[in-house]
Amino acid sequence: MPSVKQDLLAALTGELEKLSPGAGDKAAFESPKQAAHGDLACTAAMQLAKPLKANPRALGEQLKTALEAAPAFQHWVDAIELAGPGFLNIRLKPAAKQQVVREVLQQKELFAQIPVGPDRVLVEFVSANPTGPLHVGHGRQAALGDAICNLLATQGWQVHREFYYNDAGVQIETLTQSTQLRAKGLKPGDAGWPEAAYNGDYIQDIANDFLAKKTVKADDREFTANGDVEDTDNIRQFAVAYLRNEQDKDLQAFRLKFDEYYLESSLYTSGRVENTVQRLIANGHTYEQDGALWLKSTDYGDDKDRVMRKQGGGYTYFVPDVAYHISKWERGYPKVINIQGTDHHGTIARVRAGLQAADVGIPQGYPDYVLHTMVRVVRGGEEVKISKRAGSYVTLRDLIEWTSADAVRFFLLSRKPDTEYTFDVDLAVQKNNDNPVYYVQYAHARICSVLEAWGGEVASLVDVDLSPLDSPAAQALMLQLAKYPDMLAAAAQDFAPHDVTFYLRDLAASYHSYYDAERILVDDEPVKLARLALVAATAQVLHNGLLVLGVSAPTKM
């Protein structure tokens, strides 16, 4: 049906251009809110009535007559009805709805995907400092980032996944000190244990392995401890490598891999930070006041100017961010998406201001941001706040171990990023229709069991006669399949993987309703094959959608 819709859209565009040159950009179809109103709706007559100084209903009648004479509409459309002030409700022929089944079976995983083009996008996400295990907020960010990358890839983007982390600074010094004290035999609660130190059991694990002179290897580094408790540089490098390795394990458990790890320290060692500061000064966008260097960020829409270099020396944290984003631009990424917690909201204006003040050709509004709220975890009806391993928060690994990577991904993607979310551990392990990931995966597995019972090859269903698929339940399921391409494109455009979760739940519901309405493995061979083709196409789209989310599509449950 996507090809059918394109045929009809091209015809609509042509007729609108005849009505008024340039009006073709108003060509679009909507899904009627009530199924009784038809399969597609068009509001172009109402949109054009005012600029054309015409009565919208009369314009709608004129457009209806023109479309009824168009070959594509004659081929695919059963009826066009004029409603209200100028709505056109379009009813498709059964063959038009059936076409989607054939397209899905022919294209398989490529259904609704656009071939890879020249456009490149860099998506930065997780970006956790190597000072402790990944928490559930990082998990939400990991799920969001990976799904958004997958969505963009379906629309032809060349996607680069990047993890940026601070391998220097106060937090790393705190990690070093905490590990050193544990290696010397101190622990939380002892006299001399700093209030700011990290208290989780993982610090003792690092200290034990440091004393044992172990070697740790992460995706981006490898380091061997020397066991000297006075060698703070060795402790620091070992602790960072150890936690990078731990984070890698968390990400592997989440089936997530990055293309690049970008070190904040490299911005300083390469001179990027200093070059950026000098560029801003040379461009006349800074000033000295109270012994500090300020950026005139109010010139670019910020609510106040921002300190770049503090009175006592050292740059504020947004300065390396500006240098980092200039690096992204210079590496050839005209589109960049940062996925961060809502606590980063205040940095958006100052980073964008710095990029404009640098005057290196970066457009306004660069980069894009997706901000997400933190996650509450509930287990046994009570909120869980503390993990013994982490010391002060629930880790991503805790959540995966309590449920599954599939459940964590699907649940954390099932709401808009900026809405509060409560992860119900008990719900995530239930095997019933109340558990959304189980509900969707069960629909896929249920179809696979039907296909297995049939025993034939799915590939043989591509060319079967689909005309028996004329019942209301079958047509409702085909219309749901046909929504997938537009949903996918819109979700990618809006960075909205939650739309995919909603769609998959709706598709699973349509399938379950169809399964309850019609037997599939009937004696009538043409009817059986047509129904098998329909459910096989449904399984393929469920598989494709789950793949976008990074969730598995089991064949048995």
Read off the pLDDT band of 387 (50, 70, 90). Answer: low
- What CATH number has the domain bearing residue 465? 1.10.730.10
108 assigned to some structural domain = no
Percent of the chain with pLDDT over 90: 84
Same domain (yes/no): 83, 177: no
**Cis peptide bond prior to 367, omega within 30° of 0:** yes
pLDDT of residue 2: 73
pLDDT tier at 133, thresholds 50, 70, 90: confident
Determine, yes or no, domain membership for 545: yes
Dihedral angle over CA of 216, 251, 264, 312, nearest 10: -90
Could you tell me the maximum CA-CA distance found in the chain, to the nearest angstrom? 89
Question: Residue 462: pLDDT above 90?
Answer: yes
Q: How far is CA 284 from the centre of its chain?
A: 39
Q: Return the pLDDT at 386.
A: 67
Cα distance between residue 529 and residue 527, in whole Å: 6
Count of positions (residues) in the chain: 557
Q: Indicate if 87 and 176 belong to the same structural domain.
A: no
Q: Which amino acid is at 430?
A: Q
The Cα–Cα gap between 374 and 385 comes to 12
In a domain, 264, yes or no: no
Give per-residue pLDDT as tens, 499-533.
999 999 999 999 999 999 999 999 999 999 999 99
Domain that holds residue 205: 170-251
pLDDT at position 1 is 61
Beta-strand relationship, 158-165 and 120-124: parallel
pLDDT of residue 390: 60
> What percentage of the chain exceeds 70 in pLDDT?
99
Terminal-residue alpha carbon distance, the chain:
31
Give the chain's domain count: 3
Of 184, 219, 251, at which residue does a domain stop?
Answer: 251
Average pLDDT (34-57) is 90
> What are the counts of helices (DSSP H) followed by strands (DSSP E) for the chain?
21, 16
Q: Compute the distance between CA of residue 478 and CA of residue 472 in angstroms, rounded to an integer.
A: 10
| Residue 224 maps to a domain | yes
pLDDT in tens, 334-371: 999 999 999 889 899 999 999 999 999 999 999 999 99
On whether residue 245 sits in a domain, the answer given is yes
The Cα–Cα gap between 522 and 518 comes to 9
The pLDDT of residue 129: 86
Average pLDDT over residues 444-464: 97
Domain boundary among the residues 204, 236, 251 is at 251
Q: How many CB atoms lie within 10 A of CB 434?
A: 10
- Mean pLDDT computed over every residue of the chain: 94
Task: Tell me which H or E stretch contains 506.
Answer: helix 498-517
CA distance 166 to 169: 7
pLDDT tens-place string over residues 16-27: 999 889 989 889
Mean of pLDDT values over 538-550: 98
* Contact indicator for 154, 114 with CB cutoff of 8 Å: yes
Last residue of a domain, one of 60, 92, 124: 92
Q: What sign does the dihedral 229-234-236-239 (CA atoms) show?
A: negative
Compute the distance between CA of residue 123 and CA of residue 149 in angstroms, rounded to an integer: 7
| The pLDDT value given to residue 391 | 63
Average pLDDT rounded to a whole number, residues 81-103: 93
Shared domain for 81 and 183, answered yes or no, is no
For residue 33, give Cα distances in angstroms to 36, 404, 498: 9, 36, 21
Any residues with CB less than 8 A from the CB of 346 and at least 6 apart, and which? none
The model's pLDDT over 187-229, given as tens digits with 9 standing for 90+, comes to 999 998 999 999 888 999 999 999 999 999 987 789 999 999 9
Is it the case that residue 388 has pLDDT exceeding 80? no
Decide: 503 and 421 in contact? Cβ < 8 Å.
Answer: no
Q: What's the rounded mean pLDDT across residues 391-420?
A: 93
pLDDT value, residue 389: 59
Asked if residue 174 and residue 71 are part of one domain, the reply reads no
33 in any annotated domain: yes
Helix/strand/coil for 468: coil
CATH number at residue 33: 3.30.1360.70
pLDDT-based confidence at residue 300 (cuts at 50, 70, 90):
very high
CA distance 479 to 97: 6
pLDDT score of 221: 82
Q: Is 36 helix (H, G, I), strand (E, B) or coil?
A: helix
Residue with tokens 């020397």: 226
Q: Are residues 174 and 88 in the same domain?
A: no
Co-location of 79 and 174 in the same domain: no
Residue 524 maps to a domain: yes
Count of CB atoms within 10 A of residue 10's CB? Answer: 14
**β-strands 260-263, 421-424: how paired?**
unpaired
The pLDDT tens digits of the residues spanning 221-279 come to: 899 999 999 999 999 999 999 999 999 899 999 999 999 999 998 999 999 999 999 99
Is residue 162 situated within a structural domain?
Answer: no
